Structure 1
Amino acid sequence: MIVIDIDASRVTVAQRTGTERYSYELIAALDRIAPSDIHFRLYVNGRRDQLPPVSERATIHDIRLPRLWTHLRLGPTSWRARPHVLFVPAHVVPLLHPPTVVTIHDVGYRAFPETHTARRRLELELTTRWSLRAARHVITISHATKRDLINWYGADPNRITVTHLGCSSIFAPPADPRVVAAVTAHYGLDQRPYLLYIGTVQPRKNLSRVIDALALTIAAGYDLDLVIAGKRGWLSEPIERRAGELGIANRVHFTGFVADADLPALLAGALAFVFPSLYEGFGMPVVEAMACGTPVITSTSSSLPEIAGDAALLVDPLDTNAIAAAIMRLSDDQDLRATLRQRGLARAHLFNWETCARQTLAVLLQQSR
Structure 2
Amino acid sequence: MRIGIDARPLISESPSGIGIYLLEILRNLERNENTTYILYTNEPIRNQDPVLAGFEKHVVHGKIGTFTICFGLDKALKADKIDEFWGTEHMLPLFAHGVKKVLTVHDLALLINPKWGSRKNAIMQNIFCRLSCKRADKIIAVSEATKKDIVSLLSIDANRITAILNGGGYGKYITPSNEECKKIKKRFEIEAGPFFAYTGNIEPRKNIVTILKAFEIACDRLDKTTSLVLAGKLSWRTQPIIGAIEQNKYKDRIHLPGYISEEEKKYLMHNACAFVFPSNYEGFGIPVVEAMSCGGIVITADNSSLKEVGGKAAFYVQKTDEVSQLADRMVQCFNLSDAERKKLTVDGESWAAQFSWKKCAHETQAVLEQG
TM-score by length of 1: 0.92
Give the AA of the match of 1:354.
K
1:128 aligns with 2:125: no
Q: What are the within-5 Å matches in structure 2 for residues 218-257 of structure 1?
A: 218-223=219-224, 224-257=226-259
User: For residue 61 of structure 2, what is the aligned residue in structure 1?
Assistant: 64
Verify the 8 A CA contact 2:275 2:296 in the aligned structure 1: yes
Give the AA of the match of 1:319.
E
User: For residue 54 of structure 1, what is the aligned residue in structure 2?
Assistant: 51
1:58 positional shift:
2.2
CA distance in 2 between counterparts of 1:119 and 1:46 reads: 21
User: For residue 258 of structure 1, what is the aligned residue in structure 2?
Assistant: 260
Q: What are the within-5 Å matches in structure 2 for residues 149-298 of structure 1?
A: 149-167=150-168, 169=170, 172-178=172-178, 179-223=180-224, 224-298=226-300
Q: What are the within-5 Å matches in structure 2 for residues 288-367 of structure 1?
A: 288-316=290-318, 317-334=320-337, 335-366=339-370
CA distance in 1 between counterparts of 2:336 and 2:106 reads: 35
User: For residue 138 of structure 1, what is the aligned residue in structure 2?
Assistant: 139
Verify the 8 A CA contact 2:169 2:352 in the aligned structure 1: no
CA distance in 1 between counterparts of 2:53 and 2:117 reads: 42
1:13 aligns with 2:17: no
SS of residue matched to 2:312: coil
SS of residue matched to 1:201: coil
CA distance in 1 between counterparts of 2:143 and 2:74 reads: 27
The 3 A distance-change label for structure 1 pair 10 and 347 is same
Verify the 8 A CA contact 2:166 2:355 in the aligned structure 1: yes
Verify the 8 A CA contact 1:24 1:51 in the aligned structure 2: no
CA distance in 2 between counterparts of 1:26 and 1:124 reads: 23
Matching residue within 36, 39, 42 for 1:39: 36
SS of residue matched to 1:10: helix
Verify the 8 A CA contact 2:133 2:139 in the aligned structure 1: yes
Give the AA of the match of 1:341.
T
Task: Write the deviation string for residues 320-366 of structure 1: whole angstroms up to 9, x where unpaired.
Answer: 11110000001011233222211111011101111001110111111
Verify the 8 A CA contact 1:13 1:47 in the aligned structure 2: no
Q: What are the within-5 Å matches in structure 2 for residues 17-28 of structure 1?
A: 17-28=16-27
CA distance in 2 between counterparts of 1:34 and 1:49 reads: 23
The 3 A distance-change label for structure 1 pair 222 and 124 is farther
Verify the 8 A CA contact 1:174 1:265 in the aligned structure 2: no
CA distance in 2 between counterparts of 1:130 and 1:313 reads: 38
Unaligned runs of 5+ in 2: none
CA distance in 1 between counterparts of 2:244 and 2:73 reads: 42
SS of residue matched to 2:369: helix
Unaligned runs of 5+ in 1: none
Task: Write the deviation string for residues 178-213 of structure 1: whole angstroms up to 9, x where unpaired.
Answer: 243432323322222111111111111011101010
SS of residue matched to 1:54: helix
Task: Write the deviation string for residues 273-331 of structure 1: whole angstroms up to 9, x where unpaired.
Answer: 10010100000011011111010001100000000101110112221111100000010
The 3 A distance-change label for structure 1 pair 71 and 325 is same
TM-score by length of 2: 0.91
User: For residue 2 of structure 2, what is the aligned residue in structure 1?
Assistant: 3
1:228 positional shift:
1.0
Aligned-residue RMSD, C-alpha = 2.0
Q: What are the within-5 Å matches in structure 2 for residues 75-86 of structure 1?
A: 75-86=74-85
Say which is worse superposed, 192-201 or 49-58, in terms of deviation: 49-58
How many residue pairs end up in the alignment?
Answer: 363
Give the AA of the match of 1:173.
Y
CA distance in 2 between counterparts of 1:46 and 1:121 reads: 23
SS of residue matched to 1:243: helix
Q: Give the % identical residues.
A: 28
CA distance in 2 between counterparts of 1:15 and 1:56 reads: 16
